[in-house]
């Protein structure tokens, strides 16, 4: 099998190593040809320090590597997924499988990543979303990790499961691509808010409260938009929420900590130095929740901190003193 991974950030690089480990002919394409040349020469991605890239992994800045590819993995940041889809469309065939691993919602259109890819590639082939609690830094050193390959077409989902699965990378299949993609984008907003809590000096009780109640919000909106409730309790939902809210590998969590400590939002994102998807998703989720009339107080407050300059301490007090509720009556996913 020939696999091409597009996007040489941490995640594209780690996934290309899994595919190469599994014996596939694997190409890693970088948006920046100079970076491709540097990685090819040094056999290292500076984003994954200390990890040696296998000699057999082909690294290139030339899109012709897509010729005759059986599987194409789009690992661009969410803002670049449309542009990437447009570039690769001429190379795809009906029998190719396109895998989306970016976690976000498109600004302005509020589309999911697979929807953008299907538009740009004119539905020429199946699109599978691969998602779950999976930091690149740990996958690259073969820490046992689990993900979900989601697609309404079971054959395509199983193809991706077979391609990636090995003794340190376990892949489940699911038909619920809507729920998986929404969960992936939404948990980044919660990770930002969890980071803000930590930055304010709050501890484990507060984080657990925030994560659990945020999960109720994500499930409400996810179901309203066509996702399956159980997805939100699975790897792409609860699993990814836990890893992103608790790990110092998480860019979203780290950006949140800096904001909670008093840094301006843009300054915090610059300091993190890699794409903070939750910042962009916060705006889309806020718009979707308003459009659908779904109550999402944690996501709304996070949006107000990020985009409207609301003070984090005022937000905490607002959330804690909301109207009294009954947990079982108000929590869809329990």
Ligand X SMILES: NC(=O)c1ccc[n+]([C@@H]2O[C@H](COP(=O)([O-])OP(=O)(O)OC[C@H]3O[C@@H](n4cnc5c(N)ncnc54)[C@H](O)[C@@H]3O)[C@@H](O)[C@H]2O)c1
Ligand Y SMILES: O=P(O)(O)OC[C@H](O)CO
Choose the contact partner of 243 out of ligand X, ligand Y, none; CB within 5 to 8 A by kind.
ligand Y
The least distance separating ligand X from the CB of residue 252, rounded to whole angstroms, comes to 9
137 in contact with ligand Y (CB under 6 A): no
Q: C-beta of 148: minimal distance to ligand Y in Å?
A: 11
> Rounded CA gap, 189 and 334, in Å?
21
User: Would the annotation count 12 as a binding residue?
Assistant: yes
The binder of 191, among ligand Y, ligand X, none, by C-beta within 5 to 8 A per type, is: ligand Y
Residue 126, interface with ligand Y (CB under 6 A)?
no
Give residue 183's Cα distance to chain centre. 9
Question: With the C-alpha atoms ordered 214, 308, 102, 21, is the resulting torsion angle positive or negative?
Answer: negative
Site membership for ligand Y, residue 112 (CB under 6 A)? no
125 or 281: CB nearest ligand Y: 281
132 labelled ligand-binding:
yes
Residue listed under structure tokens 């002919």: 25
> How many residues at the interface with ligand X, by CB under 6 A?
26
Other CB atoms within 10 Å distance of the CB of residue 79: 14
Q: Which residues contact 11 (CB under 8 A, 6 or more apart)?
A: 75, 101, 134, 136
215-237 exposure pattern, b = at least 16 Cβ within 10 A, e = fewer? bbbbbbbbbbbebbeebbebbbb
> Least distance from C-beta 126 to ligand Y, angstroms?
23
Beta bridge partners of 170: 146
Q: Which of 244, 284, 304, 315 binds ligand Y (CB under 6 A)?
A: 244
Residue 169 tokens, joined = 């990378």
Question: What interhelical angle do 204-224 and 297-308 show, nearest 10?
Answer: 100
Q: Say whether 324 is catalytic.
A: no
- How near is the Cβ of 317 to ligand Y at its closest, in Å? 26
Residue numbers of the site for ligand Y (CB under 6 A)?
Answer: 103, 133-135, 188, 191, 240, 243-244, 250-253, 277
Binding residues for substrate: 103, 251-252
């Amino acid at each position: 099998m020939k696999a091409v991974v597009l996007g040489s950030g941490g995640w594209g690089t780690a996934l290309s190593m899994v595919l190469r480990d599994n014996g596939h002919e694997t190409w890693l394409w970088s948006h920046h040809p100079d970076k491709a040349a540097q990685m090819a020469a040094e056999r290292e991605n500076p984003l994954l320090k200390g990890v040696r890239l296998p000699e057999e992994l082909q690294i290139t800045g030339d899109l012709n590597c897509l010729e005759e590819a059986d599987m194409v993995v789009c690992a661009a940041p969410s803002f670049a997924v449309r542009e990437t889809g447009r570039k690769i469309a001429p190379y795809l065939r009906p029998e190719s499988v396109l895998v989306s691993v970016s976690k976000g919602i498109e600004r302005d259109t509020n589309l999911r990543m697979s929807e953008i890819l299907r538009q740009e590639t004119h539905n020429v082939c199946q699109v599978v979303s691969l998602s779950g609690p999976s930091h690149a830094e740990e996958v690259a050193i073969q820490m046992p990790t689990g993900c979900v390959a989601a697609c309404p077409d079971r054959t395509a989902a199983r193809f991706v499961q077979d391609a990636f699965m090995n003794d340190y990378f376990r892949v489940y299949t699911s038909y619920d691509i809507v729920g998986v993609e929404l969960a992936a984008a939404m948990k980044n907003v919660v990770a930002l808010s969890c980071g803000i809590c930590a930055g304010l000096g709050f501890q484990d009780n507060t984080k657990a409260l925030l994560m659990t109640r945020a999960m109720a919000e994500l499930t409400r909106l996810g179901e309203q938009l066509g996702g399956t409730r159980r997805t939100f309790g699975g790897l792409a939902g609860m699993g990814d929420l836990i890893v992103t809210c608790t790990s110092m590998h998480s860019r979203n969590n780290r950006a949140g900590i800096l904001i909670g400590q008093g840094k301006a939002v843009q300054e915090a994102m610059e300091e993190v130095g890699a794409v903070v998807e939750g910042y962009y998703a916060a705006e889309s989720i806020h718009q979707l929740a308003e459009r659908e009339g779904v109550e999402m107080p944690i996501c709304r407050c996070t949006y107000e901190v990020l985009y409207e300059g609301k003070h984090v301490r005022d937000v905490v007090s607002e959330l804690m003193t909301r109207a009294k509720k009954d947990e079982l009556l108000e929590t869809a996913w329990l």
